[in-house]
Amino acid sequence: METKKEFKILFWIALIFGFAFFLPLESARFNTAITATFDLVKWYAREHVILCLLPAFFIAGVIAVFVSQASVLRYFGANAKKWLAYSVAAVSGSILAVCSCTILPLFSSIHKRGAGLGPAIAFLYSGPAINILAIILTARILGFEMGLARTIGAVVFSVVIGITMSLIYRKEEKIKREEQMNIELPAEKRPLWQTSFHFFTLVLILVFANWGSPANNDTSSVWYYVWAYKWYITGFFSLLLGYSLIYILKIKWQWVLLSAVVVIASAVISSNLIEDAKLVPLVPMMVGIAALSTITLLDKRDQDNKEWTLSSWGFAKQILPLLAIGVVTAGFLLGSTHDGNTIAGIIPNEWIQWLVGGNSLLSNFFASIVGAFMYFATLTEVPILQGLIASGMGKGPALALLLAGPSLSLPNMLVIRKVLGTQKTMVYVALVVVMATLSGLIYGGI
Question: Among 153, 146, 142, 152, which residue's Cα sits nearest to residue 48?
Answer: 142
Q: CA of 343: how far to CAs of 44, 204, 335, 339, 396, in Å?
A: 15, 34, 5, 12, 23
3-class SS at 355? helix
Rounded to the nearest 10 degrees, how much is the dihedral formed by the CA atoms of 80, 118, 138, 244? 10
Spans in the chain with pLDDT lower than 70: 1, 68-80, 92-106, 109-115, 133, 173-187, 214-218, 337-340, 349, 352-353, 374-380, 410-411
- What does DSSP assign to residue 188? P
Q: Tell me, what's the pLDDT at 285?
A: 93
Q: Tell me, what's the pLDDT at 427?
A: 92
Residues in the chain: 446
Residues whose CB is less than 8 angstroms from the CB of residue 197 and which lie 6 or more positions away in sequence, other chains included: 240, 244, 248
Residue 104, Cβ density class (10 Å: 0-12 exposed, 13-18 middle, ≥19 buried): buried
Q: Tell me, what's the pLDDT at 110?
A: 64
Residues whose CB is less than 8 angstroms from the CB of residue 103 and which lie 6 or more positions away in sequence, other chains included: 96, 123, 124, 127, 128
Q: CA of 344: how far to CAs of 125, 309, 354, 429, in Å?
A: 34, 39, 17, 34
Q: Are 89 and 51 in contact (CB under 8 A)?
A: no
Question: Among 130, 214, 118, 187, which residue's Cα sits nearest to residue 159?
Answer: 118
Q: Residue 438: enclosing H or E segment and its boundaries?
A: helix 422-445
Report the chain's terminal Cα–Cα distance, integer Å: 61
